[in-house]
Structure 1
Amino acid sequence: MAQPQEQYQKYYVPEQSVWPIVGAVALFLIAVGAGNFVVEVTRDKSGIGGYILLAGLVMLTVMVVGWFKNQIDESMSGLYSAQLGRSYRQGMAWFIFSEVMFFAAFFGALYYARFIAVPWLGGASNNAMTNEVLWPAFEAMWPLVATPGGTETTAMGWGLPLMNTIILLISSVTLHYAHTGLEGNKRKQLAVMLGITILLGVIFLGLQGYEYVHAYRDLGLTLQSGVYGNTFFLLTGFHGLHVTLGTIILIVLFARIMKGHFTPKEHFAFEAGVWYWHFVDVVWVLLFFVVYII
């Protein structure tokens, strides 16, 4: 008796792409340019750091647009299969996990500085002699009153950050309803809720920019304000970068929705954007309590 033939799914393997190397060069230029630009600003000197940073950002934008276009064309051409869809889900899950570890490193650095290094320098845990030798006038408090260079740090108020927290929490709710609208084939609900989410993301970034200007101009909280200033701008700055990326992703998804893309059953690209945005929101809630409240 003849055995039934096994059914194999197709698995699309894309052609070689130039975009990974373009993205790698762009990120290299951004890293070098940003580092030099920060040094130039803090030392009040001119240089090419800003131009290198701008070149990296332009190249990164070109890479994102080109790569997104290729992916969208492949998806709309019906080249993907269920197996490839599972691969995408696994890839997105691992990507978000890597981002979790990325922020965990910075939260760990803040924890070490605040709860281990500062008390240790203040003479805790039988380190009184260390306190006398390294920094006799040191006061173990957070934020630090003074740094070795004499620059005082100023604690930020949490009124504006609380407002931003509420904005991001609301954006998670609107994005959830956009997702349910897509699953229920309610295109108007999908478009309206996603549009509101994008607007809330832009408002968040605008308020964070205002907070930075206020910190530098009025409070004297800068990158030179000791470990408090460094950790503050490091955590909030990288989170702002992730919100920017998430907003760009949502804008691309909104444009695709306006063109009639996605169906209630086939919409992982949209779902991946939802995962990423919710991750960014969770990180901000943790950041709000650790940086502004505790």
Structure 2
Amino acid sequence: MSLAKDESTDDHGGHHLPAVEDWPRGFGEASWWPFIAALGVGGIYIGAALFILGNGANNIVSPMIGPAVLVGSTALFLGGLYGWLYHAFVVNFWEHGTEGHGSGTLRFAMLLFLGTEVATFGAGFVYYFFIRSGPWVAERPELLSPLIFINTAILIASSFTLHFAHVSLLRDNRKWFIRLLGVTLLLGIIFIGGQGLEYYEFLVHENFSLETGIFGSAFYGLTGLHGLHVSLGAILLAILFFRSLYGQYSAQKHTSVSTVSMYWHFVDIVWVFLVVVIYVGAEVNL
């Protein structure tokens, strides 16, 4: 029994699953946190579907099931995300960095992740193009408001500030790196607030919601999915910002900055495409 226990300890680096002690030094170890977060995301989609099924003309399920699944799945997602980010980026950072794994490997992993994101958003856009190709009788408010143009400019500007923040770090100018990173985080938060304001105007003053025909479901599905990604990006930027205040980045150690920058530029590009397709395209009569 003792020998079996010792062998098990050696195989797993002295840690039980989910591995929480030495990530990312134990990069090859299995961790349940990403799976927990993924289950939460899947549950959010299921909850949204149940919400629609429970609030239609003929309710297929109870109206309370959808919101309950959404709340539970959101809590599961946030819990998994917290565990993932905390144990990946915070615990024992000073002792266990990412140098042994190669920045190229981690950037490639981010590229693979962004590939799955392209597929996720692509499915939503395919749905929109499908309904757009039919008779266009969408009930909707005026979408092209000044708020949209301002919000778009803010998000595009945040890509530039993040790019030059990274450039400043590579030039060992930590003061401007921290300043521009803080500006990027602030612009991201303002964008999220602007999208929340837009939702408020549509829901309260325009009576435009998920139940407003198939266009309503497509609009809130795609913009809400993007808003969720921007919110996640803002969390990552906040982690970068607070770590930068403690001097945890340099011209030689900036893998986290590179990978988060890739993610942030991706969500910016998706937003521009979304504005062209949803906001501008909805006003075009084919």
TM range (shorter): 0.7 to 0.9
1:85-234 to structure 2, matched below 5 A, reads 85-114=103-132, 116-118=133-135, 141=136, 144=137, 152-234=139-221
Partners of 1:266 and 1:225 in 2: how far apart?
A: 49
Deviation per residue, 1:9-28 (Å, 9 max, x gap): xx954433232343244334
Which residue is 2:6 aligned to? none
Contact 2:140–2:216 at 8 Å: present in 1 too? yes
State the AA in 2 paired with 1:103: F
Distance 1:260-1:62 versus aligned 2 partners, 3 A rule? farther
**Are 1:74 and 1:80, in contact at CA under 8 Å, matched by a contact in 2?**
no
- Deviation per residue, 1:231-274 (Å, 9 max, x gap): 21122111111111111110111111112212212211111111
The answer for the alignment partner of 1:69 in structure 2 is 86
Whether the aligned pair in 1 keeps the contact of 2:50 and 2:66 (CA below 8 Å) is yes
- In 2: Cα distance, 1:162 partner to 1:286 partner: 13
User: What's the secondary structure of 1:185's corresponding residue?
Assistant: coil
Q: Structure 1 counterpart of 2:87, which letter?
A: N
SS at match of 1:265: coil
Aligned residues of 1:171 and 1:197 also touching (Cα < 8 A): yes
Deviation, structure 1 residue 74: 6.3
CA distance in 1, matches of 2:172, 2:38: 38
Query: 1:134 aligns to what?
Result: none
* Alpha-carbon distance, 1:92 to partner: 0.6
**Are 1:282 and 2:285 an aligned pair?**
no
The equivalent residue for 2:235 is: 248
In 1: Cα distance, 2:164 partner to 2:155 partner: 14
Name the CA distance, whole Å, in 2 between partners of 1:67 and 1:252. Answer: 13
Q: Give CA-to-partner distance per residue, 1:176-220, whole Å, 9 cap, x none.
A: 121112111212211111111111111111111111111122223
Compute the TM-score of the two structures, normalised by the length of structure 2.
0.78
Greater radius of gyration (CA): 1
Q: Is the 8 A contact 2:151 2:194 kept in 1?
A: yes
Alpha-carbon distance change, 264 to 242 in structure 1, aligned in 2, over 3 angstroms = same
Larger displacement relative to structure 2 (31-40 or 266-275): 31-40
| Aligned AA (1:274) | S
Report what 1:23 is aligned to. Answer: 37
* Higher mean C-alpha deviation, range 247-256 or range 220-229: 220-229
CA distance in 2, matches of 1:181, 1:31: 40
C-alpha contact (below 8 Å) 2:34/2:81 kept by paired residues: no
CA contact (8 A) 1:23 1:60 kept: yes
Distance 1:85 1:75, change over 3 A: farther
Q: Residue 174 of structure 1 aligns to which amino acid in structure 2?
A: T
Q: CA RMSD in A?
A: 2.6
Q: SS of the residue aligned with 2:29?
A: coil
Gaps of 5+ in 2: 1-24, 282-286
Amino acid at match of 2:70: L
Preserved CA contact (<8 Å) 2:40 2:77: yes
Which residue pairs with 1:291 in the alignment? 278
1:67 is aligned with what amino acid?
W
Q: Which runs of 5 or more residues in structure 1 are unaligned?
A: 1-10, 119-140, 146-151
CA distance in 2, matches of 1:82, 1:18: 22
